[in-house]
Amino acid sequence: MYQFAVSFTVPAEHREDFIAAALEDARGSLADEPGCLRFEVVADSEDPSLIHLVEAYRDKAAVDDHVAGEHFQRFIKAVSAYAEGPVSRFTGTRVEASAQS
């Protein structure tokens, strides 16, 4: 499983717009992309200007499909005028119990 988290800095006056666009991306991705396994929009508990997107995909190919898809493209177009980011990014693959043995 391929996982990542990206963080965006969003001005206060656009926070609700960003969250709405991110939630639309999440709902559409989960509904229409078989490789999208998890997509969460998380507000930072310490910095209200930070919004994190936490996502999991079947594999890297599913991520590539997501990035090329209409939901992601619509999200980026909607937020690129005011959101800065991703300001941080984490990527990785899930470690399964059998890998620890």
Q: What is the tens place of the pLDDT at every residue in 25-54?
A: 999 999 999 999 999 999 999 999 999 999
Domain count for the chain:
1
**69: CATH:** 3.30.70.100
User: Are 84 and 34 within 8 A, CB to CB?
Assistant: no
pLDDT at res. 96: 78
Q: Which residue has the tokens 């990542």?
A: 4
Domain assignment present for 24: yes
pLDDT at res. 90: 84
pLDDT at res. 97: 72
CA dist 75 and 99 (Å) reads 36
pTM of the model: 0.87
Residue with more model confidence, 87 or 71? 71
pLDDT at res. 57: 97
CA dist 18 and 11 (Å) reads 9
pLDDT at residue 98 tops 80 = no
The dihedral sign for the CA sequence 26, 69, 56, 35: positive
pLDDT at res. 5: 94
Domain assignment present for 71: yes
Residue ranges making up the domain that contains 62: 2-95
Q: Which burial class, exposed, middle or buried, applies to 18 when counting CB atoms under 10 A from its CB (0-12, 13-18, 19+)?
A: buried
